[in-house]
Amino acid sequence: MSSTDSFDVSESAPRFGVWALEEGAFGSPHHPEDPHDASWERIRAQVLLAEELGFDSTLIAQLFISPWGEEYDQGEAWSLAAALAALTSRIEIIAAIKPYAYPPAVAAKMALQIEEISKGRFAINFVNGWFATEARRLGLEFYEHDQRYDYGREWITIVRELLAGRPTRFEGRWFKADDYQPRPASRWRERPTIYAGGESPPARALVADTCDTWFMNGQPIERVADLIADVRARPRVGPPVQFGLSAFVIARETEEEAEEAHRYAWEINKSDAAEEAWLAQQVDAKVQMIQTYAKYPHIGSNGGTAAGLVGSYDVVAERIRAFHELGIELFMLQFQPFEDEMRRFAEHVIPRVRRSSPVRA
């Protein structure tokens, strides 16, 4: 299949994942039924419940400072990933990573260790970074936007080879690799899966060249269709890129109930003015995600409700099918209150989607 051929992901059923609660809450940290809680005990219980409910994947964002503010607790992605790998048996564990935080060989060795612990269920999510204040607090260099992608391209090129357990030689502007060969390599597949975020032109080029699955922020389906078409049209060696979408879900029995819950979420969101004002001063305004946020007001992070998964169970299931027909293979979901709404989605929406999707081989 060439890079410009159509790719019908609807031949298989969509997968569903949940964002791990290392940020303590999605939606609002002031929700009366779901206050901020980034404790290990909650994250462990949440991901184990997600696995029990049939969710396929969990994504752990990498943040060293809470996006709600520096006084809030914030989990650490890779130690959480290792712990969850040991406790779970089926769910895919995806840990985000910022290339400026780890040398490539160190990151690859860590990833292959968690691959070993999880028995082939680990993946990385390459994110080039948007949180300028965080990098400065850590004493790390935070380059200009396009320069970060030049840096990130060298980083992921080395990491991709090392994840396959191959001795790797590389010499570039930013990095040098001298035949390091991490062991053990994966015993279950060629290498762990590489996901990536970012929607700017440099990000799309990087995805087409080096990554397996592209995560998009929640946004209207017409915009998602354009983004998918852009990446599919780019030259590529190897299997086609797959696609994932972040979304915040508000689903109820009826449209009226869903709209009431949506209005309530926006009312609670008004109490987040201080947190939102703080964050706006800490980010790189050139990041495409930040520009997308301004176009589509939403509840939740990474586009959240801008994906449109707000409505009756039937309507939400139909919108998921529409995204899936475009090419979205993995839906990475947020809820609030998280555990209760995650159960609701598993009970009422997933069966509706599955009834009209082929059984996965």
Residue spans of the domains in the chain: they are 9-355
37 is written with which tokens? 């809680």
Cα dihedral 119/121/122/127 (nearest 10): 170
Task: Using the predicted structure, report yes or no on whether residue 298 has a pLDDT greater than 80.
Answer: yes
For residue 292, how many C-alpha atoms fall within 13 Å in the half-sphere facing its CB? 21
What is the b/e burial string over 265-290, where b = at least 16 CB atoms within 10 angstroms of the residue's CB? beebbeebeebeebbeebbbeebbbe
Mean predicted confidence (pLDDT) in 16-29 = 96
Of 286 and 249, the one with more pLDDT = 249
Rounded to an integer, what distance in angstroms lies between the CA atom of residue 37 and that of residue 40?
9
Task: Using the predicted structure, report yes or no on whether residue 109 has a pLDDT greater than 90.
Answer: yes
Rounded to an integer, what distance in angstroms lies between the CA atom of residue 358 and that of residue 361?
9
Burial class (CB in 10 A: 0-12, 13-18, 19+), 99: buried
Task: Using the predicted structure, report yes or no on whether residue 342 has a pLDDT greater than 80.
Answer: yes
- Of the chain, the percentage scoring pLDDT greater than 90 comes to 75
pTM: 0.92
Amino acid at 217: N
CA R_g for the chain: 19
Task: Using the predicted structure, report yes or no on whether residue 331 has a pLDDT greater than 90.
Answer: yes
The beta strand positions in the chain, using DSSP E, are 15-19, 57-60, 92-97, 122-126, 168-171, 176-180, 193-196, 213-216, 242-248, 250-252, 310-312, 328-334
In sequence order, the β-bridge partners of residue 243 are 214, 328
Query: Which residues, 6+ apart, have CB-to-CB distance to 315 below 8 Å?
Result: 255, 258
Query: Which residues, 6+ apart, have CB-to-CB distance to 47 below 8 Å?
Result: 18, 20, 58, 84, 87, 88, 91
Q: Which CATH number fits domain 9-355: 3.20.20.30, 1.20.1050.10, 2.40.30.110, 3.50.50.60?
A: 3.20.20.30
The beta strand positions in 120-255, using DSSP E, are 122-126, 168-171, 176-180, 193-196, 213-216, 242-248, 250-252
User: What is the average pLDDT score of the chain?
Assistant: 91
What is the distance between the terminal CA atoms of the chain, rounded to a whole angstrom? 21
Element (DSSP H or E) covering residue 355 = helix 350-355
Identify which of 290, 301, 305, 297 has the alpha carbon closest to the alpha carbon of residue 259.
305
Question: Which tens digits make up the pLDDT trace of 43-57?
Answer: 999 999 999 999 999
For residue 236, how many C-alpha atoms fall within 13 Å in the half-sphere facing its CB? 25
Phi, psi at 253, each rounded to 5°: -60, -40
